[in-house]
Amino acid sequence: MSYGASAALQAAVYQHLRADAALADLVGDAIFDAMPVASPAGVYVTLGPEDVREAGDATAPGARHDFVVSVLSGQEGGAGFAALKAAAARVSDLLDQAQLALDRGQLAGMWFLRAVARRVDNGAARQVDLTFRARVDLG
């Protein structure tokens, strides 16, 4: 097992999201690989937590990466979920079954696992957390 492909997976996911014109139409350039210090205006996307587990087999060492991509609204965008859900649906479409090239390791597959939509900041804002699973071969 190795955590070695984690940075490569994060970079590939980030670049894949940033390169999509349809997602840019929904969130502009507000796609972050780290939570911004101050919440941007409108809807934005950020890469979140990751849980990595051993997933090697007889053919190669590997790891299973469960990671979260969050779609959030600032307080001024908290009136409803429609804009968030549109952006979250685009993120899901982009990452489910994505074929990404990694700088280290090889992506064997990526799948959507679940989503949780909720109010945050005492109901003033909205957040959708999408969880994906990636299997990375390291051999």
Domain boundaries defined on the chain: 6-137
Residue 62 has pLDDT above 70, yes or no: yes
**pLDDT the model gives residue 76:** 64
From the candidate CATH numbers 3.40.50.10710, 3.30.70.1560, 3.30.360.10, 3.30.2000.30, the one assigned to the domain spanning 6-137: 3.30.2000.30
Residue 69 has pLDDT above 90, yes or no: yes
d(CA 114, CA 95): 12
Residue 77 has pLDDT above 60, yes or no: no
- pTM over the 0.75 mark: yes
Q: What value does the mean pLDDT take over residues 58-83?
A: 82
In 24-105, beta strands by DSSP E: 31-32, 43-54, 62-73
Burial track 99-113 (b if 16+ CB lie within 10 A, e otherwise): ebebeebbbeebeee
**pLDDT the model gives residue 15:** 98
Q: What value does the mean pLDDT take over residues 86-96?
A: 97
Picking from 9-13, 44-48, 51-55, 105-109, which range would have the lowest pLDDT averaged per residue? 51-55
Q: What value does the mean pLDDT take over residues 129-138?
A: 95
Residue with tokens 């190795």: 2
pLDDT band at 6 (very low <50, low <70, confident <90, very high): very high
Q: In angstroms, what is the C-alpha Rg of the chain?
A: 16
